[in-house]
Structure 1
């Protein structure tokens, strides 16, 4: 199991500020919701990506 498969990235005005990696998609999604709840505001973008498939699973806001 790849312990860094699910990557969460928070950017502010396009600059990376916070990263997190998890083996579990459920954990990554839970962390995604917590980060959006704490840091969601104009200029912030949060994405959760499956590093194995290079697929963006979810993002906030929904459109960049």
Structure 2
């Protein structure tokens, strides 16, 4: 059995290209839930973008962009 990577799932909030918040989790369920919270609470920031990435595979799992 492989080792668990506690930093596998990386959630990032940027606004106008500046990282405002980020977090890492070993389970995908938690950042998927956080994704919705961040969009709801911070989605009105100018140029807001929320991205969930699987750092192990490099795959972007979810992205949300504020309407211009």
With normalisation by structure 1, the TM-score equals 0.90
2:54 pairs with 1:47: no
RMSD: 1.3
Provide the C-alpha distance between the structure 2 equivalents of 1:58 and 1:8, rounded to a whole number of angstroms.
9
Residues 11-30 of structure 1: pairs in structure 2 closer than 5 A: 11-30=14-33
Provide the C-alpha distance between the structure 2 equivalents of 1:61 and 1:10, rounded to a whole number of angstroms.
10
Give structure 2 stretches of 5+ with no counterpart: none
SS at match of 1:18: strand
Instruction: Report if the CA contact (8 A) 2:47-2:65 is conserved.
Output: no
Find the partner of 1:59 among 42, 60, 63.
63
Give structure 1 stretches of 5+ with no counterpart: none
Count of residue pairs the alignment pairs up: 62
* Large movers: runs of 4+ above 4 Å: none
Deviation at 1:4, TM superposition (A): 0.7
